[in-house]
Amino acid sequence: MILNMGPILRGEVRRMEIAYDLVPQSIPDVTFTKDARVEGYITDDAGYMRLHLTAKLPYRGVCARCLDPVEGVFSLQFERTVVAEGAMSEEKLEENDDAYVMIRDGKLDVDELLSGEILMSFPMRLLCDENCPGLCPKCGKPRREGDCGCSEKEIDPRLAVLQKWLDKHKNS
C-alpha cells in the first residue's frame, strides 16, 4: 500500500489510520493460508512522525523435528520514525535503515518495508512444540510415542570388530 502523506505533511491531520491486506512473498516449505492483515497508524507530533504497524499472517507448514503439520499465526510489530524527503541524507538513512523510513514524493510505500521485515523475522524452522523430541534417527519413529528400542549408542564402524570380540568374551 502506498500512502499519500500529503494531509499529514500539510498539518491537516495528526494521525492517519492504516488497515489493509498484504499479499506476502512466498517462503519455501510454508503455505500462507490468508493474506497478512496489517493495521496501524502514523502520528505527527510537532513534526516528529512515527509509524506503528501490526501484521498478522496465518501459515501452515511442517515441524522441522518430527514432520508433523504445524499451523499458526505469525505476528509482527513494526515501528519506525518517518522522515520527509531531504530531511536526512541518503547515507544516514542507509546507516539507520532499521530505525527510519523516508517519504518520497509525498508518498510512503508500506508494502516494501513490511514485506522485507516479514521475510527477515519469520522463523527459519517451524516447530510443533518448543520441546518436540523429533524422530529416531535410526527407525524414524516419533520419539514422543515412546521408546522404539533402537540403541542410543553409536559404534564407530572401524571398531565394530573389536566390539564384537568384547561382547563375545564378556559372555564367556
Per-residue cell: 8: 499529514
> At 133, is the pLDDT very low, low, confident or very high (cuts 50, 70, 90)?
very high
CA distance 74 to 80: 20
CA distance 136 to 156: 19
CA atoms within 13 A on the CB side of 127: 10
6-22 pLDDT, tens digit each: 888 888 899 999 999 99
25-54 pLDDT, tens digit each: 888 899 999 999 999 999 988 878 999 999
CA distance 129 to 152: 23
